[in-house]
Amino acid sequence: MLRTRRGFFDALTRERSTATAAWLSARGHEAYVGELQGQQGRSPRPPLPPGVSEIRISSNENPLGPGPKVLEAITREFPEAGRYPFNSTPSDRNLVEALAAHHKVKPENITLGAGSQEILKNSVRAFTSTAHGLVTASPTFENPTSTARRLGHPVKEVPVDSEFRLDLTGMIAAAPGAGLVFFNNPNNPTATVHGAKDVTMFVERVRAAAPDAVILIDEAYHEYVTDPAYATAVPLALATPNVLAVRTFSKAYGMAGIRVGYAVGHADTIRKLARFKMPYNVSGFGVVAAMTALADQAYLAAERKRNADVRAFTMKALTDAGAKPTASEGNFLFVDVQRPARAFRDGCGMQGVMIGRDFPPFEQSHVRISIGTMAEMRRAVDVFRGVLKPTLAAGGR
Amino acid sequence: MALSRRSFVRAAGIGAAGAFTSSFISARGRENAVWSALDGIVEPLHAAQSEVIIISSNENPMGPGPKVLDAIRAAFGADGSRPGRYSGSQRDLIDALAAKHKVKPENIVLGCGSTQILRSVTHVFTAKDKPLVATIPTYEECADYATLMGNKVVGVSLNSEFQPDLDKFADAARGAGLVFYCNPSNPSSTYVGAKATRDFLAKVNSTSPDTTILVDEAYFEYVTNPDHETFIPLAVQNPRIIVARTFSKAYGMAGLRMGYAVGHPDSIRKLREWDAGTGTSSLNVLAMHAAIAAVEQDDAFIINERARNAAVRDFTMKWFADRGMKPADSQANFMFVNIGRPVGPFRAACAAQGVRVARDFPPFEKTHCRIAFGTMDEMQKAVKVFGDVLARPAAAVA
């Protein structure tokens, strides 16, 4: 299938300029941060052998992208490129309506973000203050933490437990006085998930301990979860004031580059959050792409199955090689490689396999590895085996 | 799904040669029945809107042109997987913009439209004790954001020609955190010449040295007045001046969401420090590729769009002037015209005939309407609707 798709996309791209070709070479979020900090080229690597391409499994992306229907819909939307998203057909309002229909809620229960990151960031801005801070985990997705720090609002980070699951009891204990409690389920980077009973209990107890706190349940990896005990918190968010369930099209829907996310919740909670929304934050193409993806649940089901298969293969290969992945419910693994992440990452990077950055406080032992295609992961695990073989002293420094 | 992948390949494959793209551009209607992905979702919406003339949002009705659309298609990547990746690096677009403006990469920060730029600048440079100063009316993004943050907004009214009194404006700027200077100005469409602007900026710098001035050049490319220059060269040297630009107007990319600020490295660093996280993550890859292509294409694109707009502008303004309704002197892709009656009923009556003009702009909502310039064909149709609505007494329209 990939070969066929590649063939027809070749026809689309044959005439593209060198500027874009250069741009197309994979550069992750880390590279951008490096640019800002003047650290370009900090991990020099010899050129890969001819015919060997870089495998980017560093950012928990869907390696197949959004699929031909979405791309076709974007192309069909070209005549609307000059229209603001509120004027185009479909409009951003139509996307909100489609999401409302999908979740069987009202449009007032939904607000859009330029990716779910805007939602997270704006939640910190809307619900925390110097008096009422953020309660979050460590390690977890860092956007709320960094936003709160930038604003000078207090942050309580509750370490994950020995199984790399969020310490819900510890987070409940930290909740009194909080403005916002961030619950990433499944948790990035540790890949673990909590079941529906745990989530319901957590919300009840946080609300008892901190009645004014908003609880944000970030379900970025929702579609990848296979644990039958898991369920979405969307119904909980609709039934409970001050609870938000947040979703994204960046992961299983394969649209990280298109920037569409949203929050679902009580109309009052959504209204408070939406005051901080950037106007026209989702592009016209993002609108039509998300609507098309939402209407194609078969594509999503295939992606869920594909990821589960490749995840099982990769976890087994790593376990066989002596490494210890946590119980992953996402499209990435958090793996104890028994050596500094940097050493492992650089060893893989030299062979063109790009994995995730450091995740303190586990940067001395754990790496985050995203799930690529089966072909990519077959090659990647060969590289992992080679890097895992030497002792820490030989392979590390 | 009516369309097989093979026929999509065939149809889309023509695009690489450009013919498909040009036909797309000329096709304002939605006759492209070959496309199937959203059948049953989008087609009814398109059908409902196909005859509507949208002249409410100061957009370029021609869109971004074939080079940009081809670049968006190229952004799908060889196997169509690229939109599944985070945008990663902003560097190539920043480099392209730096080359265009002859500045350094550290002089530029990108935004999700200039909207994000305006919000970031307001966030960084206003405070409880450092108000925003802007004309009334003006584009409200900065004022809305300052209000959201609980920071004061000071308004400076315009004169009868819809020009700011620059001395009064500079006086009001004393002690301000930020001056929002939109030139050409939205919604008034008027323009302050290069020398007058330079003098104004120097005066504010001298009388209120801690005040930052945001020069919003969203409509820069549409100006035809020869007394005209960008303030980017000044901004890169002066930490108190920031210039905002957008791809949403003359570049025809309002749907894509890309804008940027140019300024002194110290100001740009402050903006990045506040919003770099969102600054990366709010930017979509299609807009990045589109913007690079837009910057690198021949100057003829903007020159042609300016000339096209000027012809439509002259036609539309003359139509109103001939009927005794004097528009402000437009240097943009829209006009602000005294129709001698409340805009609400006028707008509703025009909308009922398929012409969408802009919302109210207080304090002029009883008299003045903002009308964007569509294509010549659209404006020839629109003025017939205006004539019909304006021929009826205001009370009858209401």
Give this complex's ipTM. 0.89
Contact list in B for residue A116 (CB cut-off 8 A) is: none
Closest CA to B157 of B338, B369, B366, B361: B361
Packing angle of the helix pair B265-281, A143-151 (nearest 10 deg): 150
Confidence of residue A390 (pLDDT cuts 50, 70, 90): low
Cβ atoms B149, B123 nearer than 8 A? yes
Residue B305 scores a pLDDT above 60: yes
What pLDDT shows up at residue B106?
Answer: 96
Contact B90/A at CB under 8 A: yes
Contact B67/A at CB under 8 A: no
Contact B57/A at CB under 8 A: yes
A221 min Cα distance to partner chain B (Å): 14
Contact list in A for residue B145 (CB cut-off 8 A) is: none
From the list A87, A143, A258, the residue facing B286 with the nearest CB is A258
Contact B2/A at CB under 8 A: no
Contact list in B for residue A15 (CB cut-off 8 A) is: 16, 70, 74
Say which DSSP state B107 is in.
Answer: G
| Cβ under 8 Å to B: A residues 168-227 | none
From the list A27, A79, A276, the residue facing B63 with the nearest CB is A79
Cβ contact (<8 Å) for B292 and A23? yes
Alpha-carbon distances, residue A295 vs A78, A253, B38 (angstroms): 20, 11, 8
Nearest CA in chain B to A32: B89
pTM, 2 dp: 0.89
Q: How far apart are CA A35 and CA A38, in angstroms?
A: 5
| Token pair 């619950």: residue | A183
Q: What share of chain A is helix, strand, coil (3-state, %, to 5)?
A: 45, 15, 40
What pLDDT shows up at residue B276?
Answer: 63
What pLDDT shows up at residue B52?
Answer: 94
Confidence of residue A126 (pLDDT cuts 50, 70, 90): very high
What pLDDT shows up at residue A15?
Answer: 30
**A with B: how many residue pairs have Cβ under 8 Å apart?**
301
Cβ contact (<8 Å) for A20 and B15? no
Cβ contact (<8 Å) for B277 and A94? no
From the list A14, A16, A29, the residue facing B88 with the nearest CB is A29
What pLDDT shows up at residue B28?
Answer: 30
- Of B32-36, B114-118, B210-214, the one with minimum mean pLDDT is B32-36
Cβ atoms A232, A197 nearer than 8 A? no
Cβ contact (<8 Å) for B277 and A143? yes
Q: What share of chain B is helix, strand, coil (3-state, %, to 5)?
A: 45, 15, 40
Cβ contact (<8 Å) for B257 and A280? yes
pLDDT digits (tens, 9 = 90+) for B371-397: 999 999 999 999 999 999 999 998 887
Residue B2 scores a pLDDT above 90: no
Q: How many residues does chain B have?
A: 398
What pLDDT shows up at residue A47?
Answer: 76
- Of A312-316, B35-39, B145-149, the one with minimum mean pLDDT is B35-39
| Cβ under 8 Å to A: B residues 151-190 | none
**Mean pLDDT, to the nearest integer, of B294-312?**
97
Alpha-carbon distances, residue A19 vs A22, A25, B89, B322, B326 (angstroms): 5, 11, 13, 50, 47
Cβ contact (<8 Å) for A117 and B59? no
Confidence of residue B3 (pLDDT cuts 50, 70, 90): very low
Residue B281 scores a pLDDT above 80: no
A123 min Cα distance to partner chain B (Å): 13
Cβ contact (<8 Å) for A257 and B273? no
| Cβ under 8 Å to B: A residues 34-73 | 35-36, 56, 59, 61-73
**Mean pLDDT, to the nearest integer, of B80-95?**
89
Residue A396 scores a pLDDT above 50: no
Residue A38 scores a pLDDT above 50: no
From the list B38, B74, B284, the residue facing A20 with the nearest CB is B74
Residue B105 scores a pLDDT above 50: yes
pLDDT digits (tens, 9 = 90+) for A317-373: 999 999 999 999 999 999 999 999 999 999 999 999 999 999 999 999 999 999 999
Residue A93 scores a pLDDT above 80: yes
Contact list in A for residue B74 (CB cut-off 8 A) is: 12-13, 15-16, 20
Say which DSSP state A109 is in.
Answer: G
Q: How far apart are CA B54 and CA A88, in angstroms?
A: 10
Confidence of residue B107 (pLDDT cuts 50, 70, 90): very high
Cβ contact (<8 Å) for B86 and A19? no
Bridge-based pairing of strands B334-338 and B368-372 is: antiparallel
Cβ contact (<8 Å) for B84 and A66? yes
Cβ contact (<8 Å) for A257 and B86? yes
Helix, strand, or coil here: B139? Answer: coil
**Mean pLDDT, to the nearest integer, of B159-187?**
96
Contact B49/A at CB under 8 A: yes
What pLDDT shows up at residue B307?
Answer: 98
Contact A298/B at CB under 8 A: no
Confidence of residue A53 (pLDDT cuts 50, 70, 90): confident
pLDDT digits (tens, 9 = 90+) for A203-256: 999 999 999 999 999 999 999 999 999 999 999 999 999 999 999 999 999 999
Closest CA to A62 of A271, A331, A357: A331
